[in-house]
Amino acid sequence: MPDPLLSIRDFSVVYDVDPPVAAVKNVTLELRRGEILGLAGESGCGKTTLAYGVQRLLKAPAVITSGSVVFHDSDGDDIDVNALGAEQMRRFRWDKISMVFQGAMNALNPVTTIGAQLEDVFEVHRPSMSRKQRRDAVAELLEIVKVGAQRARSFPHELSGGMRQRVMIAMALALRPQLMVMDEPTTALDVLVQREILRQISQLRAEFGFSVIFITHDLPLLLEISDRIAIMREGEIVEIATAERIWNAPQDEYTKTLLSSFPRLTGEKGVVVR
C-alpha cells in the first residue's frame, strides 16, 4: 500500500454566524501518495470548505475549530500545515499543494495573455529563473496539457472552455506539486470535453506521480477516475472505500441513494433500487 501523503485528523470548520453553522464535522481522512481520491456529496455538504480549510484558504466567517493537517513531504519531512507562518504557507501553496478552483475557467485575466499569466507563477515562486527560462517552461506546460505552445500569445477569450480549463491545469502543474486539489473542474464542460479532461488528468498523474483530490457531486464521474471515493454528507464523511466497492457494495444508505439518483442507459424506466 502506498505511503500517506496527507493526513487529516478530526478536522472541523464552523461558519461563525448567528446561529453558527458547522460546515465540516470532525473529518478524518488520509490521502495516499499517487492516488486519485474522489470527494463526493450534494451541493452544500462541505466538500469545498474542507478543501479550502486544509490549505488555509478560508475567509471569515469560516473558522477552523479543531483538527490537524499533516503533509508528508517526499523528502521525508512531516509538515504541520496549521503551524506554518504566512510566508511559509505562501511558499507551501502551489509548490507542495496546488488547486484548480471551482469556476476556474473564468478566473483567467481577460486582458493578459495566457503566457504572461503562466509566467507569473514562476516569477513569484521561482524568482531565480531568467525570462527565457520562464518562457520555455510555459511553452513546455502548454504542450504537456495539449494546448500548444503557440497559444501563449492568446488571450483567454480566444480559447474554448476546454482549453481554458487545460490552462488552469497547466498553472496548477507548473511547480510540479505533490498534490493537486480539483474542485468541480469539469462542471461547465460538455460531456466529450469532460472525458478528454479526465483522460488527461489520469495521464498526467501517471506521468508525474502527483496525488489528486477530485471534488464533485457527480458520483458516476468519480467512479470512472478515482482509486478511492469518500462520500460526504452534512459535513461528515459517511463512507470511504475503493471505487469498485462503492459501486458494487455500498455500505451507507446515503451512498446508495446517491447511486440510485442517476438514470441508467439500459433497462426499464424508473428509480434504481439498491
Is 26 within the bounds of a domain? Answer: yes
| pLDDT tens-digit readout, 142-201 | 999 999 999 999 999 999 988 998 999 999 999 999 999 999 888 777 888 888 888 889
| Number of domains comprising the chain | 1
Element (H, E) at 24: strand 21-32
Is the overall model pTM greater than 0.85, yes or no?
yes
Is 135 within the bounds of a domain? Answer: no
Identify which has the larger pLDDT, 196 or 134. 134
Is 271 within the bounds of a domain? Answer: no
What pLDDT is recorded for position 106?
A: 74
> Following CA atoms 90, 60, 98, 240 in sequence, which dihedral angle do they give, to the nearest 10 degrees?
140
Instruction: Please count the CA atoms within 13 angstroms of the CA of 129 that sit on its side-chain side.
Output: 17
If pLDDT is split at 50, 70 and 90, which confidence band does 260 have?
confident
CATH of the domain at 188: 3.40.50.300
If pLDDT is split at 50, 70 and 90, which confidence band does 245 have?
very high
Element (H, E) at 121: helix 114-125
| pLDDT tens-digit readout, 86-128 | 999 988 998 999 999 877 667 889 999 999 999 999 999 999 9
Is 118 within the bounds of a domain? Answer: no
Strands 4-15 and 21-32: antiparallel
Is 25 within the bounds of a domain? Answer: yes
**Residues 45, 126: Cα–Cα separation, whole Å:** 37
DSSP code of 129? Answer: S
If pLDDT is split at 50, 70 and 90, which confidence band does 215 have?
very high
**Residues 116, 45: Cα–Cα separation, whole Å:** 36
What pLDDT is recorded for position 99?
A: 92
Which residue range forms the structural domain that includes residue 38?
Answer: 4-104+178-260
| pLDDT tens-digit readout, 6-42 | 999 999 999 999 999 999 999 999 999 999 999 999 9
Q: How many DSSP H helices and E strands does the chain contain?
A: 9, 10
**Nearest Cα to Cα of residue 97 among 183, 164, 206, 3:** 183
Is 256 within the bounds of a domain? Answer: yes
| pLDDT tens-digit readout, 62-87 | 999 999 999 999 988 999 999 999 99
Is 159 within the bounds of a domain? Answer: no
Whether 270 shows a pLDDT value over 80: the answer reads no
Is 228 within the bounds of a domain? Answer: yes
Summary mean pLDDT of the chain: 91
User: Which amino acid is residue 83, in one-letter code?
Assistant: A
If pLDDT is split at 50, 70 and 90, which confidence band does 273 have?
very low
